[in-house]
Copies of this chain bind each other. A is one copy, B any other.
Amino acid sequence: MNVNDSVTKQKFDNLYCCRESILDGLKRTTDMMFGGKQVVVCGYGEVGKGCCAALKAMGSIVYVTEIDPICALQACMDGFRLVKLNEVIRQVDIVITCTGNKNVVTREHLDRMKNSCIVCNMGHSNTEIDVASLRTPELTWERVRSQVDHVIWPDGKRIVLLAEGRLLNLSCSTVPTFVLSITATTQALALIELYNAPEGRYKRDVYLLPKKMDEYVASLHLPTFDAHLTELTDEQAKYLGLNKNGPFKLNYYRY
């Protein structure tokens, strides 16, 4: 059961959680001020969208890189300049990767960054920044505090590398209990569904969580916000062709 791609996981753990943890992770490690800083965010998926929204709101100037033209157009419409990393690498104060890809930030990029540029990773593994390329004799590493390394070039330039390129949000901030609750509920429901499902419903394959369960996870968390859901009348349910208890959307609905 592919729990990672359920709506509640994707939107809440990735988008909404990262919107907060990018700020938290950067503050706890560097005490930097966000206002006026130039930032490039590599990747405009759910994580990238969260990082960009948070930093824009705090007064940073944010550039985005993307390989997918649809996500790229979303970045444009959300007010971010879509660039190639090379175009802005010399001028930015922070580089954040959230692509799920490898070697997005290469040694060549690192060589061209300005003094005291901060480099960190919010993506899914530690491959996005080519940290191995920094383990060469001419560069000096200095651990300035937990999770924060200065990598020093022969001319004195320092790059601030966070968590050695591992996930910033796991290494340098905390995960709110609310997000843990959503993710754990989703996983528990997936297990219950697999256990209870009549033989034959699931074959040897990977499945998405049934939408009704995704909706159930969400409904369990609404009281936290004192949120009041509206119920369909019989007449409305009939008009829409929906069951009053859901599911309320077709499978391909994007939220």
How many copies of the polypeptide does the oligomer hold? 4
Asked if A61 is at the interface of the complex by the 8 Å CB criterion, the answer is yes
Q: Which chain B positions have C-beta within 8 A of A67?
A: 229-232, 248
Asked if A149 is at the interface of the complex by the 8 Å CB criterion, the answer is no
Least Cβ–Cβ distance between A184 and chain B, in angstroms: 15
Q: Which of A32, A101, A215 has the most CB of B within 10 A?
A: A101
Cβ-defined contact, B33 with A59, below 8 A: no
Least Cβ–Cβ distance between A251 and chain B, in angstroms: 7
Cβ-defined contact, A208 with B68, below 8 A: no
Asked if A139 is at the interface of the complex by the 8 Å CB criterion, the answer is no
Total count of chain A residues near the partner, CB < 8 A: 92
5 extra A-B contacts, CB within 8 A, seeds A19-B35, A31-B177, A101-B240: A33-B178, A69-B216, A74-B255, A208-B252, A254-B254
Residues of A within 8 A of B (CB): 5, 7-8, 10-12, 16-17, 19-20, 23-24, 27-28, 31-38, 54, 56-61, 65-85, 87, 91, 100-103, 127, 173-174, 176-179, 208, 214-216, 218-219, 221-222, 224-233, 235-236, 239-240, 246, 248-249, 251-252, 254-255
